[in-house]
Chain A
Amino acid sequence: MVEQKEIYRCSILTLKGYTGQILWVDLLRKKLVPKELPAGLATNFIGGRGLAGKILFDNTGPQTDPLGPDNVLIVSAGPLNGTVFPMSGRYVVTAKSPLTGIWGDANSGGHFGNALKESGFDAVVFKNKSEDPVYLFLSDGKAELRDASDIWGLDVFSTTEILTKEVGDPAAQVSCIGQAGENMVRFAGVMTGRFRAAARAGMGAVYGSKRLKAIVAARGKTVEVHDVEKLFAVSEQIREEIKNDPLTKGFTTQLLVDPMNAIARFPTKNFQTGQFPNAKAIDGMTIKATRRVKDRACWACCIGSRRACYGELLPGVITLTDGPEYETLDSLGAMIWNSDLDMLIYLNNLVDMYGMDSISTGGTIAMAMELYEKGILKDEDIAPLTDLRWGNVEAAIDLVHMIARREGIGDILAEGTKRVAERIGDVAKPYAMIVKGMELASQDGRAQKSMGLAHAVASRGADHLRVASDLDGLPEAFVNLLKERVGAERLPEAADPLAFKHKGYMVKICEDFKALVDSSVICAIGSTYPPAKTYWEELSIALTAATGFDFSIANLKVIGERIVNMERMYNARHGLSRKDDRLPERLLKEPAPDGPAKGHVVELDHMLDEYYSHRGWNKETGLPPDEKLRELGLDFVLEGEEG
Chain B
Amino acid sequence: MNVRIRFFSSLREVANLEELALTIEDGTTISKLLEEILRKCGSNLRNALLDRDGRLKSYISVLLNGRSISFLQGLDTIVHDGDVVDMLPPTSGG
- Residues on A close to B: CB < 8 A? 245-247, 253, 255-260, 262-265, 280, 283-285, 288-289, 326-327, 441-443, 448, 464-465, 468-470, 473-479, 492, 495-497, 524-525, 529-531, 595-596
Tell me the smallest distance from the CB of A250 to a CB of chain B, in Å: 8
A492 surroundings in chain B (CB, below 8 A): 70-71
Within 8 A of A (CB), among B1-32: 6, 8-10, 12-13, 18
- Residues on B close to A: CB < 8 A? 6, 8-10, 12-13, 18, 48, 56-63, 65-71, 74, 86, 88-94
Tell me the smallest distance from the CB of B87 to a CB of chain A, in Å: 10
A497 surroundings in chain B (CB, below 8 A): 68
Q: With contacts A475-B58, A492-B71 known, what are 17 further pairs, Cβ within 8 A?
A: A255-B9, A258-B8, A259-B61, A259-B89, A259-B90, A262-B6, A448-B91, A464-B94, A465-B94, A475-B62, A475-B70, A475-B90, A477-B59, A495-B70, A497-B68, A529-B92, A596-B67
Q: Choose among A245, A259, A477, A495 the residue with the greatest number of B CB atoms under 10 Å from its CB.
A: A259
B12 surroundings in chain A (CB, below 8 A): 258, 285
* B8 lies within 8 A of A475 (CB): no
* A259 lies within 8 A of B70 (CB): no
Closest to B47 in A: A246
B65 surroundings in chain A (CB, below 8 A): 596
Tell me the smallest distance from the CB of A491 to a CB of chain B, in Å: 10
A443 surroundings in chain B (CB, below 8 A): 94
8 Å CB contact of A476 from B70, B86, B89, B93:
B70
Q: Bound state CA distance, A27 and B12, in angstroms? A: 54
Q: Bound state CA distance, A255 and B88, in angstroms? A: 10
8 Å CB contact of A469 from B13, B66, B71, B92:
B92
B74 surroundings in chain A (CB, below 8 A): 476
8 Å CB contact of A474 from B8, B66, B88, B90:
B90
Q: Bound state CA distance, A326 and B93, in angstroms? A: 9
* A256 lies within 8 A of B93 (CB): yes
Q: Bound state CA distance, A285 and B18, in angstroms? A: 11
Closest to B93 in A: A529
Q: Bound state CA distance, A474 and B57, in angstroms? A: 12
Q: Bound state CA distance, A256 and B92, in angstroms? A: 8
Query: What are 21 residue pairs bridging A and B, where the CB atoms are less than 8 Å apart in the complex?
Result: A253-B94, A255-B9, A257-B9, A260-B91, A262-B91, A263-B63, A280-B18, A285-B9, A285-B13, A288-B13, A326-B94, A441-B94, A442-B94, A468-B93, A474-B90, A475-B62, A476-B68, A477-B60, A492-B71, A596-B63, A596-B65
B58 surroundings in chain A (CB, below 8 A): 475, 477-478, 531
Tell me the smallest distance from the CB of A205 to a CB of chain B, in Å: 23
Given A476-B74, A477-B58, A495-B70, answer yes or no on A468-B94 (Cβ-Cβ < 8 Å): yes
* A530 lies within 8 A of B88 (CB): no
Q: Bound state CA distance, A22 and B13, in angstroms? A: 49
* A253 lies within 8 A of B60 (CB): no
* A262 lies within 8 A of B94 (CB): no
Given A285-B10, A475-B59, A477-B58, answer yes or no on A258-B94 (Cβ-Cβ < 8 Å): no
Q: Bound state CA distance, A529 and B69, in angstroms? A: 22
Q: Bound state CA distance, A468 and B93, in angstroms? A: 6
* B68 lies within 8 A of A258 (CB): no
Tell me the smallest distance from the CB of A507 to a CB of chain B, in Å: 14
Q: Bound state CA distance, A21 and B89, in angstroms? A: 44
8 Å CB contact of A531 from B59, B86, B88:
B59
A448 surroundings in chain B (CB, below 8 A): 91
Tell me the smallest distance from the CB of A359 to a CB of chain B, in Å: 9
* A475 lies within 8 A of B61 (CB): yes
B8 surroundings in chain A (CB, below 8 A): 258-259, 262
Q: Choose among A443, A477, A524 the residue with the greatest number of B CB atoms under 10 Å from its CB.
A: A477
Q: Bound state CA distance, A596 and B72, in angstroms? A: 14
Tell me the smallest distance from the CB of B5 to a CB of chain A, in Å: 13
Q: Bound state CA distance, A530 and B91, in angstroms? A: 9
Q: Bound state CA distance, A331 and B10, in angstroms? A: 22
Closest 8 CB pairs of A and B: A596-B66, A477-B58, A476-B70, A259-B88, A473-B92, A529-B93, A475-B61, A258-B9
8 Å CB contact of B89 from A247, A280, A525:
A247
Tell me the smallest distance from the CB of A259 to a CB of chain B, in Å: 4
Q: Bound state CA distance, A442 and B91, in angstroms? A: 13
Tell me the smallest distance from the CB of B85 to a CB of chain A, in Å: 11
Q: Bound state CA distance, A442 and B56, in angstroms? A: 30
B62 surroundings in chain A (CB, below 8 A): 475-476
Q: Bound state CA distance, A562 and B70, in angstroms? A: 35
Closest to B88 in A: A259
* A256 lies within 8 A of B94 (CB): yes
Q: Choose among B10, B18, B68, B93 the residue with the greatest number of A CB atoms under 10 Å from its CB.
A: B93
Q: Choose among B58, B60, B88 the residue with the greatest number of A CB atoms under 10 Å from its CB.
A: B58
* B93 lies within 8 A of A259 (CB): no
Tell me the smallest distance from the CB of B34 to a CB of chain A, in Å: 13
B71 surroundings in chain A (CB, below 8 A): 492, 495-496
A529 surroundings in chain B (CB, below 8 A): 92-93
* A263 lies within 8 A of B59 (CB): no
